[in-house]
Amino acid sequence: MGARIAESALYGHLWGTDELRDIFGEDARIRDWVWILVQLAEAQGELGIIPPRAAAAIARSAKPGRLDLARIARATRETGHSTLGLIEGLQQVLPAEAAEWVYYGATVQDLTDTWMATAMRRVGAVVWREVRTIETLLLGLAERHRDTPVAGRTHGQPGAPVTFGFKMAGFADEVRRHLERMQQGAPRWLVGQLGGAVGALGFYGEQAIPLRRRFCERVGLGDPGISWLTSRDRVAEFAVVLTLVCSTLGRFGNEVLELQRPEIGEVAEPAMPGGVGSITMPHKRNPELSEHLVTLSRLVRANASVLLEGLVAEHERDGRGWKAEWIAFPEVCLLTGVALDMGRRVLDGLEVDAGAMLRNIEDAHGMLASERLLASLAPAIGKHRAQSLLQEALADGRRRGLGLEAAVAASDDLRPHLGDAGPVLPAVVDVGASGAMVDEVLERARQARTQERATWP
């Protein structure tokens, strides 16, 4: 294993998944690069740009397993060129009639950008699958807990009641927007690259545009219409969408972490079989997965910022941003894969304590009904005056250890507006339009899922 912790035998599972490593690992990358070069040769052979016999020989003999990777690595270091070692390695395994025709007229960026688009396609398929699964789990929680009251919190403090289903529906709706972004982005992102030296495809003459079109068809990508050597918005946008996905998962993880605090105790992530919370405090049950979702989201945002820096590039080719993608882009994808896996596991086994949610509302001694009380007073004495009087009365009540009803009853300014028989107070557990909004999210998601494919793009 490598020196980077992401490649550690002990900790690698925290920073990547095997499914995505199969896209970005050295063997997989060489395999895909060779396949792309074969598709280029066959497209060139079909158009008569290279001899068809040479194209057939390249397709027949250019096999990753035949390459001497140690020799390729040595030549890469000695020449200082990114793929000259690969070219020489291919020439070693090709028959003489084909050796001069491999990698014909193409550049490093033609190869690596096309590969990156194919990687986006494969990564996107995984992300799409996992995000839809997460949406399903969130929608299930939203529906089951449509009417389960819980304290809504603002600035970390209890505010007014909502429902736990409302919380989950908010996450589900956000996830649905990520799916929409992926649908909309696919035609922009999944395009090939064949630009040649400066993007003008001068090497191929009149055959340039037909070749690019045929090459893109063969690798299963769209024709970009124009070379995008320094237009890095495609890579950046894809990474930003993954960053949004991870940030949603990070927000969810942070919510679980906060609500699992024993003093709140409303939810808990699933206990790991054999899991140990602390080697010195055996009573602890740490929200390890939820905490790690926040960590992953930070790392994804950091790596995505490198890709955003690449948007400002120079002239017709600029290796500074483009080569930084070789590091940052796989990191964004690998970390996203782990976040999706962990988010799904937390949601699938999330423990919801509806009793604790209700107790926390009741422990506020009616104070969470202050919004509804303000609304009932506003028509009679004005919203702003009612707010001022209530704030004063409830602050005094807190100092005296009174609940909302007693605090309002003790206010000479408010008592006359609450009826002859004493305070007429709203229900303590009034969740507003929470349930109606849950229903709206559920219906929109159902309609969207009937119209979209289960696979991406």
SS3 string, the chain, reads: CCCCHHHCCCCHHHCCCHHHHHHHCHHHHHHHHHHHHHHHHHHHHHCCCCCHHHHHHHHHHCCHHHCCHHHHHHHHHHHCCCCHHHHHHHHHHCCHHHHCCCCCCCCHHHHHHHHHHHHHHHHHHHHHHHHHHHHHHHHHHHHHCCCCEEEEEECCEEEEEEEHHHHHHHHHHHHHHHHHHHHHHHHHHCECCCCCCCCCCHHHHHHHHHHHHHHHHHCCCECCCCCCCCCCHHHHHHHHHHHHHHHHHHHHHHHHHHHCCCCCCCEECCCCCCCCCCCCCCCCCCCHHHHHHHHHHHHHHHHHHHHHHCCCCCCCCCHHHHHHHHHHHHHHHHHHHHHHHHHHHHHHCCEECHHHHHHHHHCCCCHHHHHHHHHHHHHHHCHHHHHHHHHHHHHHHHHHCCCHHHHHHCCCCCHHHCCCCCCCCCCCCCCCCHHHHHHHHHHHHHHHHHHCCCCCC
Architecture of the domain defined by 108-360+436-451:
Up-down Bundle (1.20)
In tens, the pLDDT along 80-126 reads 999 999 999 999 999 999 999 999 999 999 999 999 999 999 999 99
The full set of domain ranges for the chain reads 21-99, 108-360+436-451, 367-417
Please identify which of the residues 81, 82, 145, 155 carries the catalytic annotation. Answer: 155
Q: Is 278 a catalytic residue?
A: yes
Which pLDDT belongs to residue 415?
84
Which pLDDT belongs to residue 419?
66
Please identify which of the residues 13, 227, 247, 278 carries the catalytic annotation. Answer: 278
Which pLDDT belongs to residue 162?
97
Which pLDDT belongs to residue 297?
98
Which pLDDT belongs to residue 278?
65
Stretches in the chain below the pLDDT threshold 70? 1-2, 278-280, 419-426
According to CATH, the superfamily of the domain at 21-99 is Fumarase/aspartase (N-terminal domain) (1.10.275.10)
Q: Is 155 a catalytic residue?
A: yes
Q: What is the pTM assigned to this prediction?
A: 0.95
Which pLDDT belongs to residue 421?
47
